[in-house]
Structure 1
Amino acid sequence: MPVVDSDSGEACRVAPFRQIAADLAAEIERGELAPGRPLPSEKELTERYGVARNTARSALAVLRERGLIYAVTGRGSYVTDSAGGNE
């Protein structure tokens, strides 16, 4: 998944899990994924991005570490109430 380096202007590759996390974070920040709403499942992310389940799991872990989502065992991941900054 290429992106443009802001310093050099050259295309470079970003790890797929980081790109997925960035895409989901942007959806949260735009309000497309509202607080309390579920995120796509790992299976849905693997299908959307054509990646392995561990890659999708790693992307969700990044969002949890950033405090944007929380996980409920057996139910999925949800957007935190404080995510998005649209208060």
Structure 2
Amino acid sequence: MEFGPDDDIEPDAPTPPYKQLAGILKARIRRGDWKPNRPIASEARLVDEFGLSRPTVRRAIRVLVDEGVLFVVPQRGTYVAEHPDSA
């Protein structure tokens, strides 16, 4: 399923919320909201924006890290990979 950068999370959709969020974040990267080697929004901000729990947001971020779209720098934040090929 394809998600747009301005989509909302649909709690009753067949796609789990963390996958919806991962798709939305990828769409925002494709749109250019966050450039390579620049941080994305904080977990707290994503929790507030989408009304999700912190574990759900972390799971979405983990999916994108595993795909090579994002990388995490401990004590600094989550950043867009240099070449987010999967985005």
**Which residue number in structure 2 is paired with residue 50 of structure 1?**
51
1:25 aligns with 2:26: yes
1-structure distance, mates of 2:25, 2:77: 15
Identity over the aligned pairs, expressed in percent? 37
**Which residue number in structure 2 is paired with residue 66 of structure 1?**
67
Give the C-alpha shift of residue 83 in structure 1.
1.4
- Of Structure 1 and Structure 2, which has the larger fraction of its residues in strand? 1
2-structure distance, mates of 1:40, 1:14: 23
Unaligned runs of 5+ in 1: 3-11
Runs of 4+ aligned residues of structure 1 deviating over 3 Å after TM superposition are none
1-structure distance, mates of 2:14, 2:67: 22
1-structure distance, mates of 2:72, 2:29: 15
**TM-score, normalised relative to structure 2:** 0.80
Q: Secondary structure at the match of 2:38?
A: coil
Give the C-alpha shift of residue 29 in structure 1.
1.4
8 Å Cα contact 1:31/1:84 also seen in 2: no
- RMSD between superposed Cα atoms in Å: 1.8
2-structure distance, mates of 1:54, 1:76: 16
2-structure distance, mates of 1:37, 1:14: 28
8 Å Cα contact 1:29/1:84 also seen in 2: no
Aligned residue-pair number? 77
